[in-house]
């Protein structure tokens, strides 16, 4: 900013650096050319009157120019000497060259034109008048000294050259002002752009929303702290390939680009994917930056778990009111219908077709009753009372109870535990309810048609977050891709269930700071993963 404020009187640093650099190059080349011309001239054709003085002056001028270049590079300054000091140095050197060459008749006075023009662009108004004055004296004084020895001296040419130097300096004033104004404008724009870029980067980095920008080469160009934490703070950094940071997000981006290129509209479905910690469900929204095709993409990452937490209380309140109505208005009539159907089925006068109808009545009455029980259980859900549990030990005792209750051989369910014991914090009753539901679903849907298939449970720690997890895997038909995003919705069922089991399991997991996820199993089947709360975030309170 100080350089901009002084632009009306002095040249900006960039302009001074460029002009001084080219002037120093001129100072280096001029004596080299002059000495070369003297050495190449044949005997009797040289125009130098005092060769020794000529060579010494050229050598000194060359040395001074090299010294100024070295000092300028070492100090990183635009100019080492003031414009007037530079003008005095150039004028003195060229004056000695003129005297050694016999005056203005040698034509070497033209060497002053470029230094006068360059230094006038850099000088203040007063210095801009002194520089051509010193240059004019550099022409007239050698000519006067030569005139003391020679009766016929060309003072006219010397005077005209001095006047030309003054005219060049006066003509350079408007040009110098315009250059200064242009340089000042450019400098202000550069500062404004730099400030705007810094402000934009600051705003993006400190936004609560998670944002990143992907370039045409599918590399991360800009990412804020929130998005880096969701994708993995160590890997998610500018210039990192998106495919290495999050292959799933890269897949979704490619699908979005294909849908936009084919239809010209945004994709209507926004599937979720798992974050770097293995427990956070995220949804990505894409927007093109600019009208080019292809164009860089702005990606918004939405943490669906945060939204679920915000609406959880309202859902529970609504379910509480609904369950009260169900208990009074539906359960009793359904119970009466079921009992009447059972009594009717025991009548000896009924034929086979009538007995089949009574079976249908009892079956669907029981189904409605189970739905009511699930809703009431959900609405009466107590607050989680988390305890510290050994995951492997709890899993072994659970399997023993489950196999005994379901009358299953223990070989049908296998537990694969980590080498070291893993501690978790969870409500034991709610954990049992979640895992029981997952194992029961695996038996009902995954191994119903193939009794020899084994249900597997795996427990360990996720990398790199270190969060404990428990997997329940089967080799059944799995979940259809179009149903993956809906299996945890209440009352959604692709089979004969009530559609509340998985919904209730996820709600109980969230109440304990955990996350329940679904993944298709490699080779066929399903994997339901329960990711527990991060042990590093445990508190001393009962709540996780």
pLDDT tens digits for range 490-523: 777 766 666 778 888 888 888 888 889 998 888 8
**Looking at residue 533, what is its pLDDT?**
82
The pLDDT score that the predictor gives to residue 5 is 38
**pLDDT of res. 542:** 41
Residue 389 clears pLDDT 50, i.e. is over it: yes
- φ, ψ of residue 448 to 5 degrees: the values are -65, -45
CB 270 within 8 A of CB 284: yes
d(CA 229, CA 239): 16
| Distance, CA of 535 to CA of 540 (rounded, Å) | 12
Lowest-confidence region among 13-22, 162-171, 268-277: 268-277
Q: What is the pLDDT of residue 184?
A: 78
Residue 201 has pLDDT above 60, yes or no: yes
Tell me the range of 134-143, 322-331, 394-403 where mean pLDDT is highest.
Answer: 394-403
Q: How confident is the model at residue 469, as a pLDDT?
A: 92
**Which pLDDT score is estimated for 1?**
37
Give the residue with greater pLDDT, 477 vs 1: 477
DSSP state of 108: G
Is residue 444 within 8 Å of 493, Cβ to Cβ? no
More confident residue, 192 or 13: 192
Q: Is the peptide bond before 74 cis (omega within 30 degrees of 0)?
A: no
Q: What's the pLDDT score for residue 4?
A: 36
Per-residue pLDDT band for 435 (boundaries 50, 70, 90) equals: very high
Quickly state the pLDDT bin for 261 (edges 50, 70, 90): low
Mean pLDDT of 30-39: 86
**What is the pLDDT averaged over residues 22-51?**
79
Ordered alpha helix ranges (H), 41-151 = 51-75, 83-101, 113-122, 125-147
Q: Work out the average pLDDT over 316-338.
A: 69
Task: Identify the helix (H) or strand (E) that includes residue 471.
Answer: strand 468-474
Return d(Cα 524, Cα 476) in angstroms, integer: 7
Give the mean pLDDT of 22-28.
87
180 vs 132: which has the higher pLDDT: 132
- Which has the minimum average pLDDT: 231-240, 307-316, 514-523? 307-316
Task: Kindly state the average pLDDT of the residues 311-329.
Answer: 64
Q: Which two tokens stand for residue 317?
A: 């309140």
Q: Is the pLDDT of residue 531 over 80?
A: yes
Residue 534 pLDDT > 90, yes or no? no
Q: Over 50: is that where the pLDDT of 375 sits?
A: yes
Q: Is the pLDDT of residue 299 over 60?
A: yes
Higher-confidence residue of 327 and 525: namely 525
pLDDT at 263 exceeding the cut of 50: no
Range with the poorest average pLDDT among 65-69, 204-208, 264-268:
264-268
Highest mean pLDDT among 71-75, 149-153, 301-305, 421-425 belongs to 421-425
Burial class (CB in 10 A: 0-12, 13-18, 19+), 534: middle
Instruction: Pull the structure tokens for residue 388.
Output: 């510290």
| Tens-digit pLDDT profile for residues 91-134 | 899 889 888 888 888 888 888 888 888 888 777 767 777 888 88
468/304: higher pLDDT: 468
Distance CA 277, CA 229 (A): 9
Mean pLDDT of the chain: 78
pLDDT beyond 50 at 539: no
Note the pLDDT of residue 473: 92
Backbone φ and ψ of 134, nearest 5°:
-65, -40
- Tokens linked to 250: 């890269």
Local confidence band at 307 (pLDDT 50, 70, 90 cut-offs): low
Residue 421, C-beta contacts closer than 8 angstroms, at least 6 positions apart: 390, 391, 392, 393
pLDDT score of 540 more than 50: no
Higher pLDDT pick, 219 / 281: 219
Looking at residue 35, its pLDDT comes to 87
Q: What is the pLDDT of residue 472?
A: 93
Nearest to 14 by CA among 199, 183, 213, 193: 183
């Amino acid at each position: 900013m100080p350089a901009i404020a002084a632009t009306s009187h002095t040249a900006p640093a960039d302009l001074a650096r460029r002009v001084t650099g080219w002037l120093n190059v001129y100072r280096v080349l001029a004596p080299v050319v002059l000495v070369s011309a003297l050495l190449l001239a044949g005997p009797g054709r040289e125009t130098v009157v005092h060769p020794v003085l000529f060579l010494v002056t050229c050598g000194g001028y060359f040395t001074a120019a090299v010294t100024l270049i070295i000092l300028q590079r070492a100090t990183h300054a635009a100019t080492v000497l003031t414009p007037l000091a530079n003008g005095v140095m150039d004028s003195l050197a060229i004056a000695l060259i003129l005297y050694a060459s016999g005056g203005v008749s040698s034509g070497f006075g033209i060497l002053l034109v470029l230094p006068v023009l360059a230094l006038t662009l850099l000088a203040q108004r007063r210095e801009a008048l002194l520089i051509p004055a010193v240059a004019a004296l550099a022409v007239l004084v050698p000519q006067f000294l030569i005139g003391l020895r020679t009766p016929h001296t060309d003072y006219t040419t010397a005077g005209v050259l001095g006047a030309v130097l003054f005219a060049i300096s006066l003509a350079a004033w408007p040009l110098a002002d315009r250059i200064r104004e242009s340089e000042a404008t450019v400098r202000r724009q550069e500062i404004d752009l730099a400030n705007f870029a810094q402000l934009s980067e600051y705003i993006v980095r400190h936004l609560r929303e998670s944002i990143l920008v992907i370039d045409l080469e599918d590399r991360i160009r800009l990412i804020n702290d929130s998005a880096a934490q969701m994708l993995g703070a160590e890997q998610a950094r500018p210039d990192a390939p998106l495919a290495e940071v999050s292959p799933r997000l890269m897949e979704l981006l490619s699908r979005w680009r294909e849908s936009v290129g084919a239809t010209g509209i945004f994709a209507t479905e926004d599937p979720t994917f798992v974050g770097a910690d293995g427990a956070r469900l995220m949804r990505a929204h894409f927007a093109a930056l600019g009208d080019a095709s292809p164009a860089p993409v702005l990606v918004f990452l939405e943490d669906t778990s945060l939204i679920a937490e915000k609406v959880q209380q309202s859902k529970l309140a609504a379910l509480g009111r609904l369950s009260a109505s169900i208990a009074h208005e539906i359960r009793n009539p359904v119970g009466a219908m079921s009992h009447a159907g059972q009594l009717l089925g025991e009548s000896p006068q009924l034929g086979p077709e009538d007995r089949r109808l009574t079976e249908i009545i009892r079956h669907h009455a029981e189904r409605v009753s189970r739905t009511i029980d699930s809703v009431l259980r959900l609405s009466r859900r107590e607050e989680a009372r988390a305890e510290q549990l050994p995951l492997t030990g709890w899993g072994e005792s659970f399997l023993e109870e489950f196999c005994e209750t379901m009358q299953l051989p223990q070989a049908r369910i296998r537990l694969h535990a980590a080498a070291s014991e893993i501690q978790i914090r969870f409500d034991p009753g709610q954990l049992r309810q979640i895992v029981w539901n997952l194992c029961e679903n695996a038996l009902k849907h995954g191994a119903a048609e193939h009794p020899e298939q084994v249900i597997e449970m795996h427990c360990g720690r996720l990398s790199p977050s270190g969060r404990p997890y428990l997997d329940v895997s089967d080799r059944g038909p799995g979940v259809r891709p179009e149903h993956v995003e809906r299996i945890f919705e209440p009352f959604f069922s692709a089979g004969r269930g009530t559609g509340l089991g998985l919904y209730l399991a996820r709600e109980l997991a969230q109440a304990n700071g955990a996350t329940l996820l679904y993944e298709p199993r490699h080779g066929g089947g399903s994997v339901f993963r329960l990711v527990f709360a991060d042990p590093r975030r445990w508190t001393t309170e009962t709540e996780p």
